[in-house]
Chain A
Amino acid sequence: MTSTISTRNGAANTTANIKQLFSRYKIMALLIAIAIIWAFFSWKTEGGFVTPRNLSNLLRQMSVTGILACGMVLVIIAGEIDLSVGSLLGLLGGVAAILNVTHNLPLPLNLFLVLALGLLLGLFNGYLTAYMRIPSFIVGLGGMLAFRGVLLGITGGLTIAPVSSDLVYLGQGYLPASFGVALMIVLFVLALALTWRQRANRIRHALPVPPLWRDALKVALIGAVLLAFVRTLNSYDGIPVPVLLLLALLGLFSYITTQTVFGRRIYSVGSNMEATRLSGVNVQSVKLWVFGIMGVMCALAGLVNTARLAAGSPSSGNMGELDAIAACFIGGTSMRGGSGTIYGALIGALVMASLDNGMSMLDVGTYWQMIVKGSILMLAVWVDVSTRSGR
């Protein structure tokens, strides 16, 4: 019986197996994609792409999109979208520059004010979406125009420069080599402990436990990646400050999404809002705070961006929302809400940044860069869609 089925449906089974493999090991697929992209650019640039200097650059370039993607992935999981983040990033970065250059505010106060403003504007977006019931697409579209308009107004269309060196450190600073080594050790021990705890939990609940060699290999791989990461960055100038910030956000947001009540509710709201509401969850407040967090991420991204450029520019953050959204979708976030991961979104951001960086090194025209990035986004989502609905 089984043999007749397998012969008759042999071809169908092979495709099905490939699809299954893809959906189960999506992250592996993404990492392979990155490896291919990097290999291609290294070959084309004769190794220039993988020098410590360029990789350090690449990660710094990625940080702004990555910070936005951390917030955006929550918004998309909750079943919404925020198109205003690029403009909001620009506005908050501009405000930071003005407070710094024109008003000479001390850095801590400046940071506090910009982050608070980001939170407020984010909550405002959330209020319009969750409580006033304006579709988030429209709220975002409106914000995209309005925030950019405010930015143009307060800067008078001029670049605000030069910002003070302590603010610049946020975007261009490097951490000492010893810090990098310490960080590597801490992260490795953490990975070891988490894997161990996961195994123990699975054994306790009589769930299938992956063979020991596979977990050992996983931890060894993480260790190797950490070692390569820190050694590469230390052999240039050390870990850049924005990259450290991004790592911290990765940890924080992964914790929020997997371990907290609020995180569970974000998935629940995005997956079936009505059922969640009828289960006694205040779905409006969940959405409100998701947008609030998005606003804070815009503030962080705006600060880093201004610091990186050492100036507040009226056009900064332009199209930033598209990079962030693309990063989420490339990283496997579901378009209808309810599923997605932080690390996926960050790997998506890395894909986008690698394409940008590599093509710039090859002196590819801006128009080609846009075409390639657009195509990659559609390709990634197509792969996602076709493996998801496979039955």
Chain B
Amino acid sequence: MSEYLLEMKGIAKQFDGVRALDGIDLKIRAGECVGLCGENGAGKSTLMKILSGVYPHGTWDGDILWDGKPLVAHSVRDTEAAGIVIIHQELMLVPELSVAENIFMGHELTLPGGRMNYPAMYRRAEELMRELNMPDINVALPVMQYGGGHQQLVEIAKALNKKARLLILDEPSSSLTTSEIAVLLKIIKDLKAKGVACVYISHKLDEVAAVCDTISVIRDGKHIATTPMEELDVDRIITQMVGREITAMYPSRDHEVGEIVFEARHVTCLDVDNPRRKRVDDVSFSVRRGEILGIAGLVGAGRTELVSAIFGAYPGRCEGEIWMNGARVDTGTPLKSIRLGLCMVPEDRKQHGIVPDLSVGQNITLTVLKNFSRGTRIDGEAELKTVHEEISRMRLKTASPFLPITGLSGGNQQKAVLAKMLLAHPKVLILDEPTRGVDVGAKAEIYRLIAELAKQGVAVIMVSSELAEVLGVSDRVLVIGEGKLRGDFVNRDLTQEMVLAAAINQSLPQRTRTATPSTA
């Protein structure tokens, strides 16, 4: 029995001759939670894919000792058998199947003849839910009926059911609400007490600081430092991550706010699947020239629905009026909105932001490609000139604009998506979670850019789940709760507690608990 549950020594990995990891060491004791920090592209995900067997033994260099013995894993199944379970940032659930069926995915309990043993699975699933302090969950309901936060808990239950001794959580809180994050952190602490070790990967350093015992920082594929949490604070972690000190995360707010340029009146959106349910319920608000309006609220409150309805991208039915510069306008489709100077950077970068088969440059010019055409032909020279300008303005890090966009880190992809929309010269710019999955350095640059735009007179509407960000950047904050407007605050002496209180005001989550369907 060794002192450590897991020892990774000198891990190195190359992709097409590019060294992604270069001699990383990582040691974890049983019951310890290690925070793995680093900017996007530092190599965290690669390291965890090696540990979890996604990259099989032999495709990388170095040694892994598990319980003091060498671990040779050829697939994820091997590492799961050993007790290493990874929970990916994107949830791996089948939305149509029930909570219990998801928990037992691949390890179903069966009756003779291969029939599913539903009673036993439901019993065990309910037990797990009680362990996770979520007894309200009906394990027979399809997973898609629950929000992102609860789905994350289902993932954890799934891992626990596999008798995990080491749980890898990759950005587990990126789609969770504040209260759900508190639950998640409590669960991790409980698991630690039971001797389960954790690797916690997150850009939200306050969470890392709250739950981790040790912090390992990697940068550019190299191990920078491993330090007990007692000797650290968030600022020092950031310094280690970026290798320089970030003096001001948020830019100063010294731009002038002008007249009202944008108004949304009585916006109502109906749920796509269930038209009786209102996702957004009669929301009206206005934004002024040069104003940064933050929209806060819990996940699932209807913020994304609200802004995509305004932009003309909401898939379901919606009603309401949009006024710009005192005149009613039609923003029925994204094309119409963009022509009016109303642009949006969507929340889900991978699904709605980037076009994976196009190059960095081609992604940037997607919206305004027509401007470069002479007759039928695209003027490649003019296009490239603009692309180079945007790349330097955004400080976008890419070796060449001709490279595929999928090769960029999350932060740089986001900058490319932003550049694409800025080229359309927006008068009103909607940013939906502009810094999700973006590293600290790129975050500060995005904030700087937002402030710059406001200074130029653009009205910015920013939806964000990070309250610190909302309060750090916005002039005014709207709070949405259960599809309704719950508050409209000028951002002066405003605190996170005040926003949160407005967001959860009178809104204890309702959950209809139906009888367990008799499936067997």
A278 touches B344 (CB 8 A): yes
Residue numbers in A under 8 Å from B12 (CB-CB):
1, 5
A272's partner among B15, B339, B354, B380 (CB-CB below 8 A) is B354
Which of B83-91, B369-377, B466-474 binds A?
A: B369-377
Contact bitstring B350-381, A, C-beta under 8 A = 1, else 0? 01111111100010001101101100111010
Q: How far is the CB of B62 from chain A (nearest CB, A)?
A: 10
Residue numbers in A under 8 Å from B351 (CB-CB):
272, 274-275
Residue numbers in A under 8 Å from B179 (CB-CB):
none
Contact bitstring B374-401, A, C-beta under 8 A = 1, else 0? 0011101000100000000000000010
Residue B161 interfacial (CB < 8 Å): no
Residue A308 interfacial (CB < 8 Å): no
Bound: A268/B367 CA distance, A: 11
Which residues of A in the span 257-313 have a Cβ within 8 Å of any Cβ on B?
259-262, 264-265, 267-268, 270-272, 274-282
A278 touches B400 (CB 8 A): no
Residue B402 interfacial (CB < 8 Å): yes
Assess A276 versus B366: contact at CB under 8 Å? Given A207-B400, A339-B357. Answer: yes
Assess A280 versus B424: contact at CB under 8 Å? Given A9-B59, A272-B355, A274-B352. Answer: yes
B352's partner among A261, A278, A334 (CB-CB below 8 A) is A278
A261 touches B373 (CB 8 A): yes
A338 touches B378 (CB 8 A): no
Q: How far is the CB of B300 from chain A (nearest CB, A)?
A: 20
B377 touches A271 (CB 8 A): no
Residue B505 interfacial (CB < 8 Å): no
Bound: A301/B355 CA distance, A: 33
Residue numbers in B under 8 Å from A5 (CB-CB):
12, 14, 61
Among A5, A8, A261, residue most surrounded by chain B Cβ atoms (within 10 Å) = A261
B334 touches A268 (CB 8 A): no
Residue B199 interfacial (CB < 8 Å): no
Contact bitstring A8-51, B, C-beta under 8 A = 1, else 0? 11001000000010000000000000000000000000000000
Residue A201 interfacial (CB < 8 Å): yes
Q: How far is the CB of B349 from chain A (nearest CB, A)?
A: 9
CB-based nearest A residue for B13: A5
A275 touches B14 (CB 8 A): no
Among B355, B367, B369, B370, residue most surrounded by chain A Cβ atoms (within 10 Å) = B355
Contact bitstring B1-21, A, C-beta under 8 A = 1, else 0? 000000000001011100000
Residue numbers in A under 8 Å from B14 (CB-CB):
5
Residue numbers in A under 8 Å from B313 (CB-CB):
277-278
A281 touches B378 (CB 8 A): no
A278 touches B378 (CB 8 A): no
CB-based nearest B residue for A285: B335
Residue numbers in A under 8 Å from B421 (CB-CB):
279
A270 touches B334 (CB 8 A): no
A280 touches B367 (CB 8 A): yes
Residue A391 interfacial (CB < 8 Å): yes
Residue numbers in B under 8 Å from A277 (CB-CB):
313, 334
Assess A279 versus B420: contact at CB under 8 Å? Given A261-B373, A338-B357. Answer: yes
Q: Which residues of B contact A (CB under 8 A)?
A: 12, 14-16, 58-59, 61, 311, 313, 333-335, 337-339, 344, 346, 351-358, 362, 366-367, 369-370, 372-373, 376-378, 380, 384, 400, 402, 420-421, 424
- In the assembled complex, 24 residue pairs joining A and B whose CB atoms fall closer than 8 Å, in A order, are A1-B12, A4-B61, A8-B61, A9-B58, A12-B58, A205-B384, A207-B400, A264-B358, A264-B362, A264-B378, A267-B357, A270-B357, A275-B351, A275-B352, A276-B366, A278-B311, A278-B334, A278-B352, A278-B353, A279-B420, A281-B366, A281-B367, A282-B335, A334-B357
Q: A264-B358, A270-B357, A274-B351 are in contact. List 6 more A-B contacts (CB 8 A).
A: A5-B12, A275-B355, A278-B313, A279-B338, A279-B367, A280-B339
